[in-house]
Copies of this chain bind each other. A is one copy, B any other.
């Protein structure tokens, strides 16, 4: 469906050349392969060689788009975070008004247990002991953090200037990050669901609408 749509755009567009399309598709394959590699092999197992092989892209083309592993991993986490957020927004349009807080927690928890979260976690932890990586990941993490915060406020339908709303939404995101870290070692969905049930009641009581 998406491919068919992309095909139509290409056919009808005089601005976007087939060359540009191919280049863009190649970048996307490289970014997807990078996140897959981070998820499956971790930070130290992810190399530019592994990524170009997985993406089916020549080493030359890969180096042209992303000269280093650092360029590749930062671009990949950024790109897939953005695409993931677009998905979240689409998901939310379908959430009911009743039980909305609990539904929003589920949507956000899906994000914090997604492949792109585990890929970001690899960068995050590696950056703690790698100055060059930290210089690149720090600003990216702060930006994604701000955007996720704004997004959560919107999903919950609350104004952050009221009461303790800002802190409670931050606490919720930190809790979801902690739950995501726990999910990285074992499937603890039942525990997570039970915690989110309890927390939704607290949020409904404490958030000022």
List the B side residues contacting A168 at CB < 8 Å. 198-199, 202
Query: Is A13 at the interface (CB under 8 A from chain B)?
Result: no
Copies assembled: 2
Q: What string of 1s and 0s marks CB contacts (under 8 Å) between A4-46 and chain B? A: 0000000000000000000000000000000000001111110
Contact B167 A128 (CB under 8 A): no
Q: For residue A124, which residues in chain B have a CB less than 8 angstroms away from its CB? A: 181, 184-185
Q: Say yes or no for A61: interface residue by CB 8 A criterion.
A: no
Given contacts A138-B185, A167-B199, A206-B202, contact A41 B129 (CB under 8 A): yes
The residues of B that contact A73 with a CB separation of less than 8 Å are none
Is A127 close to B, CB under 8 A?
yes
> How distant is A78 from chain B, measured CB to nearest CB, in Å?
16
Stretch at the interface among A62-70, A79-87, A92-100, A169-177: A169-177
Alpha-carbon distance A206/B195, docked complex (angstroms) = 13
Q: Is A150 an interface residue (CB 8 A)?
A: no
Q: Which residues of B contact A185 (CB under 8 A)?
A: 124, 127-128, 134, 137-138, 141
Task: Bits for A124-163, please: 1 = Cβ < 8 Å to B, else 0.
Answer: 1111111000100110010000000000000000000000
A125 and B44 alpha carbons, distance in the complex (Å): 11
User: In the bound complex, what is the Cα–Cα distance between A184 and B179 (angstroms)?
Assistant: 17
How many whole Å from A106's CB to the nearest CB in chain B? 15
Contact partner, A195, options B137, B174, B181, Cβ 8 Å:
B174
- Chain B contacts of A176 at CB under 8 A? 178
Are A186 and B125 also in contact (CB < 8 A) when A171-B199, A202-B202 are?
Answer: no
Report, nearest first, the 5 A-B pairs whose CB atoms are least far apart.
Answer: A167-B198, A177-B178, A174-B178, A178-B178, A42-B129
